[in-house]
Amino acid sequence: MVSCARRPFDRYVIESETAPLDVPARVATDPSELTDDERDVDWVFVAVKAHQTVGASGWFEPLCGPSTVVVSVQNGVEDVERLTPLVGGAEVLGSVVYCGAQLAEPGRIRHTSSGFLIVDDTDHGRAAAALLGESPAQIRPSERYVTELWRKLGLNVAANGITALTGKSMEVLDRPDAAELARGLLDECWTVARAEGADLGDDDIERFLAAPKPAGGMTSMLADRRADRPTEYDALHGAVVRIGRRHGIATPRHEVMVALLAAGDPEG
């Protein structure tokens, strides 16, 4: 297995209470470094953030062949649409990502919670699940994939943008005003989700808002904002706006979030 990365490292180190790991790594930092055995492979996992996808596209030509399955390990609901034109005819398998982790340095991850992907219950989805065998990480096929995909987007849009704009961790959602904004964002998102075939309702919204918020809980968008990195606002809030327009559904709160997050983003 080869990791394709911007910066080299020689070991995979996962700092974790439940799934620690420290093993040698094979890393290529340029497509020209790939060996013949590392080209035209069976499986490619794309784990860059949504806005970094085009920048990583130079890897797809040597890695992908007609029998390759590309697994998107990205947030949002447009990953298959985003990746398909870039992978030269390879099959793209979307996923819902649940893994609390932060990159400490190249090759070193701090893992805090979960560690699984949800994929559609198809032949490719079941084959992907079999790849990991008895690993602590899992790929879980689901017949309710569309619902799970939009459920995760809802959780992201309810928390990521608010924490990034306020500069505060998840506890900010315990404020009545912030909670009301999160409720409105979820309502808009899951109204669009139902138009896409997801089975999500008001009870799901209230369960999320009532759930305990971890002290110091960091969203990925807040971490990126604090580091002055581009954020995933377009793949999260922007997706709700775009898909809502296709269905004739108004999403005014998300339009405001997109405008504010874009104005503060390093790349605009």
By annotation, the residues acting in catalysis are 152
| Chain CA centroid to CA 63, Å | 21
How far apart CA 157 and CA 205 sit, in angstroms, is 12
- Distances in Å between the Cα of 44 and the Cα atoms of 67, 76, 123, 130 are 11, 19, 16, 15
Residue with tokens 């070991």: 11
DSSP of 52-68, one letter per residue?
GTGGGGGGHHHH--TT-
How far apart CA 150 and CA 144 sit, in angstroms, is 10
How far apart CA 232 and CA 248 sit, in angstroms, is 24
How far apart CA 238 and CA 68 sit, in angstroms, is 29
Q: How many CB atoms lie within 10 A of CB 143?
A: 10
Beta bridge partners of 85: none
- The dihedrals phi and psi of 159, each to the nearest 5 degrees, come to -115, -40
Q: How many CB atoms lie within 10 A of CB 177?
A: 8
- Distances in Å between the Cα of 58 and the Cα atoms of 78, 86, 145, 170, 231 are 20, 9, 29, 36, 22
